[in-house]
Chain A
């Protein structure tokens, strides 16, 4: 049979932004998938070299616009490491709470988008959006803005959690918990959903490790690796946290791991609220710190909702000399060819949805 080459994207309903795929198909079977990226390149790494340290978080958090808080935290943690600042204990708890809330919001979006890619008429997508909005409202209460927070400061946060936040958050999390069970019963009793996810887009453990993918796709391939556990930061050591691992390596595992992580995050937030000490969580004001970088080169690793982000920063007096970001999505995208080769063209999009790509993060 002849091999047809079709071009998908960069403007296409389910390429999660501006991903362009050049796909070789033989009949209905995929021979090769070649991602072409760079349509959303904003030069954040280069831009960072021209800004002062605490002017950069607004740029880094726009990399992953579905989970901005995580990038905010990853960058500020790199600066903290470079300047040798310790984070206050209450601030550590608050950060964990906010990051886990952000993870819940991001995963809800990811599940909805994946169902949308499988041809579900936006219903689960809109459900995910509605529930995500409840979490975003919590984050808005805590930080003052709904989407791009810029809430981290050196050694702490811009503002402590508002009074009454804990009760409201716990109540909302109970609701999310119930909704997650609804999602599970709706999706996993749906034979078409199960059929289109089970055994599709398999990425075996060895390939997953060799490709260097991280985050939920890696854990769905049976590798017990989570930065929160293997290289713990903040108070993750004190909380009872264990990474979620599944071994079936297919689209279903990648969906299921998101559901499991949402449940685990809800549990983590509840526990963090219980253990959180009283005290001060405020960070240093932006301009009061004169930057005398003790550690010239720092490498900070954080578990983002989509995988491991590494901030590699060479510090300088006023601003970073060089900032290099290991984007989890960029590496995970490389696995798309391996996952979808030999599969059907219709499953390419489901597989892409299961990877939960954000193109802003891929292109940086």
Chain B
């Protein structure tokens, strides 16, 4: 596997059908972009509707049936607003930060296969590469927030980096346990190994750890300390003008898509569905991702925000030991 990592880029360039590969990748990228944009859009609408339901409200009702086009209207409004130039901001980094973050999120989505045939590359270290790119997120976030020169954004960035760094470790340890079960880091293998029983059944502890870690990684409630609206106004987005704010909202939902597809692939059998119903694998994967996304929204509607010291204490003193225990249990039961 080490050789493959080392030769990844050279082998890609040396491939005889480079042109076809590139064209194919571009077409695939467009298809994936359409899928996850639609997912993000519907998720954004569902989030408003579900939270409204939890709060005895109606949510959006005016624009389109059940207010389905409300987010589109909001997007148009945000894009038409003025962009404010800040005196304190490092202009270049401030402008580049959020687009870079979006790019990183989209790249992870691009690396995830959506069905046995729909995938950009089939790497033997696929899931590791996804987590490598996820690990870039705190750095980019810190750049985006710190460059705005706002104290609230500064606090938000520091919190965010702390959370992301400390919750990556349990997640990687769970990935290691999954690799033990699937005998490899290839995502196709991971899904293939789940054909009799999903990993959620074989490794419930790992599921819980991974889900909590993913919530923290996506910084959804109760880990939304980055954008703690009652404390830090809007956290890292305090000084961000409307078009970039729209992009940041899109980023949040893109990352929810990334997180829920990842959860579906790692624990709920990805594109595997009940064999008696002949539907494409993509359908099952998106369905599972939706259900996980809705669960995340339910948590958002009910949870209180945790405090940063408690979040870190929880991560280091519960999730890390538990993920090590999970790894050991998995090794003892399934491998030895």
Please name the 6 residue pairs, one residue from A and one from B, whose CB atoms are nearest each other, closest first.
Answer: A119-B305, A126-B55, A14-B230, A192-B304, A346-B307, A6-B151
Measured between beta carbons, the chain B residues less than 8 angstroms from A196 are 304, 306-307
Residues 34 to 82 of chain B near chain A (Cβ within 8 Å): 51, 54-57
Check A195–B310 contact: CB distance below 8 A: yes
Known: A14-B231, A123-B301, A127-B55. A347 touches B221 (CB 8 A): no
How distant is the Cα of A122 from the Cα of B47 in the complex, in angstroms? 13
Q: Does B213 contact A (CB under 8 A)?
A: no
**Separation of A14 and B229 alpha carbons in the complex (Å):** 8
- What are 30 contact pairs spanning A and B, CB under 8 A? A6-B151, A13-B233, A28-B309, A115-B304, A116-B230, A119-B222, A119-B224, A119-B229, A119-B305, A120-B302, A120-B303, A120-B305, A121-B300, A122-B51, A123-B54, A123-B55, A123-B301, A126-B55, A126-B57, A192-B222, A192-B303, A192-B304, A192-B305, A196-B307, A345-B155, A345-B231, A346-B225, A346-B305, A346-B307, A349-B231
Secondary structure of the A contact surface, majority rule: helix
19 more CB-based (< 8 A) A-B contacts, given A119-B230, A120-B302:
A4-B151, A6-B151, A118-B230, A119-B222, A119-B304, A120-B303, A121-B51, A121-B221, A121-B301, A126-B55, A195-B307, A196-B307, A345-B155, A346-B228, A346-B231, A346-B305, A346-B308, A348-B231, A349-B230
Query: In the complex, what distance in Å separates the CA atom of A167 from the CA atom of B238?
Result: 50
Are B230 and A117 in contact, with the CB atoms below 8 A?
yes
Which of chain B's residues 286-336 have a Cβ closer than 8 Å to chain A?
A: 300-310
Distance between Cα atoms of A347 and B56 in the complex (Å): 28
Query: A344 on the interface (CB 8 Å rule)?
Result: yes
Residues of A within 8 A of B (CB): 4, 6, 12-14, 28, 115-123, 125-127, 130, 190, 192-193, 195-196, 344-349
Residues of B within 8 Å of A349, CB to CB, are: 230-231
Once the chains bind, are B229 and A130 in contact (CB under 8 Å)? no
Chain B residues within CB distance 8 Å of chain A: 51, 54-57, 151-152, 155, 221-222, 224-225, 228-231, 233, 300-310
Q: Once the chains are docked, how many angstroms separate the CA of A348 from the CA of B231? A: 9
Please state if B56 and A130 are interface contacts (CB–CB under 8 Å): yes
Q: Tell me the bound Cα distance from A139 to B231 in angstroms.
A: 34
| Nearest A residue to B309, CB-CB | A344
| Distance, CA A126 to CA B54, complexed state (A) | 9
Q: Cα distance A349–B222 when bound, in Å?
A: 16
Q: How far is the CA of A127 from the CA of B57 in the complex (A)?
A: 10
Cα distance A161–B306 in the bound complex, in angstroms: 46
Report A317 CB to chain B, min CB distance, Å. 50
- Residues from chain B with a CB closer than 8 A to the CB of A115 are 304
For residue B177, give the distance in angstroms from its CB to the closest CB of chain A: 27
Say yes or no: A28-B308 contact (C-beta < 8 A), given A123-B54, A126-B56, A345-B231: yes
Q: Is the CB of A127 within 8 A of B56?
A: yes
User: In chain B, what residue has the closest Cβ to A131?
Assistant: B56
